[in-house]
Chain A
Amino acid sequence: MGVKNLFFAGVGGQGLVLSNQLQARAALRAGFDVKTSDVYGLAMRGGSVFGYNRFGDRVLTSTFAEGTGDVLVGLEPLEALRYARLLRPGGLAVVSTGRIFPACVLLGKALYPDDSVATLRGAGFEVVAIEGLRISREAGNPKMTNLAVLGALSLHLPEIPEEAYLEALRELVPEALFEPNRRAFELGRAAGRNEEGPGRGP
């Protein structure tokens, strides 16, 4: 296959680097070449964070041009909106709906956007929206939105078997945290599926 371009967007502290790493290692296990890049440093403190992830037969570099992304993975809806410009027309956005307010909204200097999911749909993208926070709590720990979203994403990358994700999880996450993380992943994967069609969001 050619190269598939994924983009992860979220807020510093949400565990975006882990979800990007898990995605990469799952793709590697499925036999693909993979390149990723993440942000570190200043932006990690509650700022807007992102990661590129590309997999395919042969991948030269980790980043790609605007308008060429196949999937946007949004751990937070405002961040999904911010990076929607990277998606190709009709591309897929997998988004957790739990809002985290940026400083300007906290201070009342700007409004948090009304309905990000509807806006993304209005721009012509396919959207899978999940309640990452609720799923995460159900799995036993509110800090696993990253795994819930990865679960939903995994459903839409059929070229990578589910088992590859679980093996990657076993590889990267300490033994004691494996079970809750697996549960969040599975619940997210189930939520990524819905009645309107194969995995095309509520």
Chain B
Amino acid sequence: MGEKRFLSGNEAVARGAWEAGVRLATSYPGSPTAQLLESLARYPELHAEWSTNEKVALEVGIGASLAGARVLVAMKHVGVNIASDPLLTFSYTRVNGGFVLAVGDDPGMHSSQNEQDSRCWGPFGFLPILEPGDPQQAFEMTKAAFALSEEVETPVLLRLFDKTAHMAGAVGTGERVAPDVKGFRPDPNDSFMTPPYSIGRRRKLEDRMERLRALAEASPFNEVLPGRGEIGLVASGYVALYAREVAAELPLFRLGTVFPLPLERLRSFAREHRTVVVVEELLPFIEKELLAAGIRNVVGKALFPSYGEITPESLHAGLVAVGADLLPLPGAAPIVEAVPRSPLLCAGCPHRPVLRVLKDLKVSCHGDIGCYLMGAYEPLSVFPTSISMGASLGVSVGMEKIQGGPDGQSPHKPNVSVMGDSTFVHSALPSLANATYNGHPVKLVVLDNRATSMTGGQENPSTGKDIRSRQHRRFDFAGFARLVGIDEVHEVDQFRVKELKVLLKEHLEAPGRSAVIVAQRPCALKYKTKQPPFFVDPDVCIACRTCLTVACPPISMQPYAHKPEGTLNSFIDANQCVGCSVCAQFCPVGAIQRTEPGKEPEAPRPVGFEREG
């Protein structure tokens, strides 16, 4: 083993892919795998790019693999839904350059709209799936996945989780050994997937699955860790590590290949134990495979939750319930009540004034995937719907069709779609063309903040910079809207709140007319917005609480010593304020003013905040 490095799961996969000689890597950023491509892009020997969406990422990867180069494509679980069109047919082909698709699942929905189980792509798409448990294994499995891909001529799915992608540990690394690019083999029997060729390939998948099953039986990633007693555990990935921590005395079949499973080895394991307990998150995938293989002494989901993450506590409880003799866990320390803290738009966020203005309009807004989804939370509460990337445009069109009636004139609030720059390019380009093609009135607000912010501020077509900050062409949102036939297209600086109000009111409240508004302030976090902070003069403040309705982290109501007891006035924490001015523009009495650079404001400070910090 070479040098030890401290790597996260994402970084370990990147390192493994680099060592395996990857020449091209693509991704659309999504938690938990957003950092994977960023790590890979640090290696100069390969081409890395942010794709506009996961389908394109996969297709570019397919091209490079067909040309005989090793390829890694990374995405979050829901990204595979979009990429599944090419993926499920690519899997029919005879893969040339090793192809690994790294997928990040998110049980518990830390950063996702659902918690679909990516193992389903295995049987659905004839795809082998490897599942590492810690960074060392993530590194080793990535290298092994490339070898497997070329040996069996199949794409290989590497399944990560929030817990494995973000778990960091020491990894023994090696050197890069890049196989030569094999070159394209132009043979329709291998890669032209339309009948009759695809029918021929479909037959060959049976042989491929047979070989994969045999390889799973022999895989060193599947191992039995010894223990005592009549209960045997079956688990994969990091859940297997939990199992080892919580119940070290129980024998454990630790799986690395979750599809296809090493069923014969599992059958022998089951024979040796009275009860086999399958510990798995989400669907009863392994459990059902075992039952279908005629292994009867299996229990799984009867003991563990079907959704969310498995925790050491739920794992322990399930094992005790099935009769395992485990020491009790100490249990939670005396619970101290803590009020919740939900995510909040950052101080200076350019989405804030747009969402705040939308709240006052007579429109019905539909949200999308990005930081602005926080507009669904109090006090903004402008979004009753959010489905998937770019969906708000189609959703608003469909709702408009029904609510407006056949002629669009039935009384109703016009439907408005609100989405970010990256989301728009990702999935809404066809929706906008669809709307104009079908003559739908369409109202869209594009929040162009020049970053894919939710996942860490990645570059995207709105900046025109690639992952290595080289400048290419910037996407022209207004130009695209005009091109597909929208006449009313307006760009606005949303920090001029008055202009913003007039513009949005005029174009969004009018029924039956189309408009695209592009709001253009950059992300405060990525571009580090910082101007002298604002402060509240409590003697001008009328305690109307309008400033609270912009939902900005530094603004709260506080008691002031010189004001009547029991009254509260507004206060801005200068440590958090970045000086965007939006709250001041909403204040009806001018109580919020900018601090002069380098000066402390003379206004009195509230009780408990007598000094800065």
Contact = CB atoms under 8 A, between A and B. Distances in A.
Contact of A37 (B167, B313, B342): B167
**Interface core residue of B312, B340, B341 (most chain A CB under 10 Å):** B341
Contacts of B551: 103, 106-107
B344 A63 contact: no
A40 B31 contact: yes
A102 B456 CA distance: 22
Given A33-B170, A34-B6, A35-B168, A107 B575 contact: no
A12 B343 contact: yes
**Interface core residue of B241, B336, B455 (most chain A CB under 10 Å):** B336
Interface in B563-583: 568, 575-576
Contacts of B338: 78-79, 81-82, 113
A85 B613 CA distance: 28
A119 interface: yes
B344 A47 contact: yes
Contact of B553 (A64, A65, A100): A100
Contacts of B483: none
Name the interface size band of chain A: 35 or more
B370 to A, nearest CB: 10
A28 B454 CA distance: 31
Given A42-B111, A103-B344, A66 B167 contact: no
B166 interface: yes
Contacts of B35: 40
Nearest to A102: B341
Given A40-B111, A84-B333, A131 B613 contact: yes
A45 B374 contact: yes
A91 interface: yes
A100 B110 CA distance: 22
**Interface core residue of B168, B455, B548 (most chain A CB under 10 Å):** B168
A13 B524 CA distance: 12
Interface in B530-584: 545, 548, 551, 553, 555-557, 568, 575-576
Contacts of A82: 336, 338, 341
A79 B341 CA distance: 9
Contacts of A113: 337-339
B95 interface: no
Interface stretch (A54-62, A157-165, A177-185, A193-201): A54-62
A108 B613 CA distance: 21
Contacts of A107: 378-379, 548, 551
Contacts of B555: 106
6 closest residue pairs by CB, A with B: A41-B111, A41-B31, A46-B344, A67-B330, A102-B341, A47-B343
Given A82-B341, A142-B613, 19 more contacts: A28-B6, A34-B168, A35-B168, A36-B169, A42-B111, A46-B344, A47-B341, A60-B241, A61-B242, A62-B167, A79-B341, A81-B336, A106-B556, A108-B568, A109-B378, A110-B339, A112-B339, A133-B575, A137-B613
Interface of A: 11-13, 21, 24-25, 28, 33-48, 59-68, 78-79, 81-82, 84-89, 91, 98, 100-113, 119-120, 123-125, 131, 133-134, 136-137, 142
Interface of B: 6, 31-32, 34-35, 110-111, 133-134, 163, 166-170, 238, 241-242, 244-246, 311-313, 316, 329-346, 371, 374, 377-379, 454-456, 525, 545, 548, 551, 553, 555-557, 568, 575-576, 612-613
12 contacts: A28-B170, A35-B167, A35-B169, A39-B110, A42-B454, A45-B343, A46-B341, A61-B167, A62-B167, A65-B311, A66-B333, A102-B344
